[in-house]
Amino acid sequence: MKHILSIQSHVVFGYAGNKAATFPMQLLGADVWALNTVQFSNHTQYGKWKGEVLPKGLIGEIVQGILGIDRLKLCNAVLSGYMGSADQVQEIIDVVHEVKKANPEAIYLCDPVMGHPDKGCIVAEGVKEALCELAVPEADILAPNLVELRVISGQPVENFEQAITAVKTILAKGVKKVLVKHLSNVGKEKDTFEMLLGTTDGIWHITRPLYAFKLQPVGVGDLTSGIFLANLLNGKSDIEAFEHTANAVNEVMRLTSQSELYELQIIAARNEILNPTCHYKAVKVA
């Protein structure tokens, strides 16, 4: 069994952060150690919420507790997502160092959540800058959305070719894999949902249906990163992991669309996450 230390947000109601990623990773056979950067009543895109950010220093203290019982060596991967403060970025990087010291084979997947004010995704001041300065250089795998792809690469990304160039730029920084979770309006086809995977072996593109929602569900990126990481730890090749991730997330989105509910229907899609009905294939583009 593989063990994943997943450090990201938690919502009591709904699905985002660890709430969106933990169950799917468990379904795929991973033992998930969920460490919550914040505990909120609901995700921030409702426009109001209650809760608190984990106090400064507590992330490291909790991980030191795991080290103290000699179990940190079991950790195969660290997954980071939404962070409640800029200070937490450094804390998480310190944790990555501790994990890799205990298990040199462990990997770090950074989902660099930088916020999207237009959509109501709010992150604390300084988080974006800290992610670029501290987390990106340490990441084995990066999983940006389009906004984050532009920031991290420092490149204009206004079309498909520029998206590929941006992925290559990030790979040149030393990141081993770049999973672009959503190409949005720079994709090849405007009426589909498109993703890219870049590795040292090339860049692959995959397309799946784009579903209509009254309100766009939150937590899709968290779900995507978690499934991709679990697939890699399960021994799937990069392309197998990419394809299964796209297909599993597609099934969650399909069932969520059919439900006409705002929150992701992860529980209803549990069987489809394991064995997706659809079989969309990745195509090498660079």
> Is 111 one of the annotated binding-site residues?
yes
Instruction: Give the span between the Cα atoms of 139 and 181, in whole angstroms.
Output: 16
> Checking DSSP bridges between strand 177-180 and strand 141-142, what pairing results, if any?
parallel
201 is in an annotated binding site: no
Cβ-based neighbours of 61, under 8 Å, separated by 6 or more: none
CB 170 within 8 A of CB 197: no
**Is 44 marked within a binding site?**
yes
Q: Is 161 known to sit in a ligand binding site?
A: no
What residue type is 235 in one-letter code?
Answer: G
3-class DSSP state of 84: coil
Helix axes 86-102 and 58-68, enclosed angle (nearest 10): 20
Helix (H, G, I), strand (E, B) or coil at 208: strand
**Do 64 and 265 contact (CB within 8 A), yes or no?**
no
Q: Is 148 annotated as a binding residue?
A: yes
Q: Residues within the annotated binding site for substrate?
A: 9, 44-45, 222
Q: Residues within the annotated binding site for ATP?
A: 111, 143, 148, 181
